[in-house]
Chains A and B, each alone.
Chain A
Amino acid sequence: ETVMTQSPATLSVSPGERATLSCRASQTVSSDLAWYQQKPGQAPRLLIYGASTRATGIPARFSGGGSGTDFSLTISSLQSEDFAVYYCQQYNNWPLTFGGGTKVEIK
């Protein structure tokens, strides 16, 4: 199976600062990568698909990049509502697999 590795596990950032999260696949997934945001007690929310396409209603401060095995999610200026756990997910290979998550916390 395709193992997705996210780093760092925890990212401490001050409001207004930029945050960059990484996701690496154990084999190529082309651009078949999605990002989700999950807040405590809530279901995940789709942010990005196709590695770089923002889902409906997602603010422009969220951007995704990469292809093949290395991907990133950048939040250009962190708002209070952005502190959450972020997961990447590949959908190029079976089974569908998620990364272990990156927690973005307030510094």
Chain B
Amino acid sequence: QVQLVESGGGVVQPGRSLRLSCAASGFTFSNYVMHWVRQAPGKGLEWVALISYDGSNKYYADSVKGRFTISRDNSKNMLYLQMNSLRPEDTALYYCARDPDKYGSYNWFDSWGQGTLVTVSP
């Protein structure tokens, strides 16, 4: 079955960087668009970024554009989110999520990891 396991979260000071990882298994990772979605503590869901199945196309929410970079390594079945210039408002649980469409993107999410918590605090 599809399994997504995030890691790399932690406590970081404002302005610093962090890299999140998502290990995928149970499906052919290289065929699927992948997303990052975040959830601030006690709040709703916010889409963060998308990467195409081959890594050639990437899209970002305005709130992270220019600071965050999504990438993937299909040989390792890994998804990444490089987060630079972190701000307190980036504090959230970060989920990786799979798009259900092979090679394209439906832009909804049929499988989710359990999330990794990022806390940005002085």
Contacts and interface: CB of A to CB of B under 8 A. Distances in A.
A55 B110 contact: yes
Interface in A74-104: 87, 89, 91, 94-101
A46 B110 contact: yes
Nearest to B99: A91
Interface in A31-48: 32, 34, 36, 42-46
A43 B50 CA distance: 18
A91 B108 contact: yes
A71 interface: no
A49 interface: yes
B113 A95 contact: no
B113 A97 contact: no
Contacts of A94: 59
Interface string B40-66: 000011110010000000010110000
Contact of B108 (A34, A42, A99): A34
A9 to B, nearest CB: 11
A44 B45 contact: yes
Given A87-B45, A89-B45, A99-B44, A43 B108 contact: no
B47 A98 contact: yes
B95 interface: yes
Contact of A44 (B100, B107, B112): B112
A97 B95 CA distance: 15
Contact of B113 (A43, A45, A49, A91): A43
B121 interface: no
Interface of B: 44-47, 50, 59, 61-62, 95, 100, 106-115
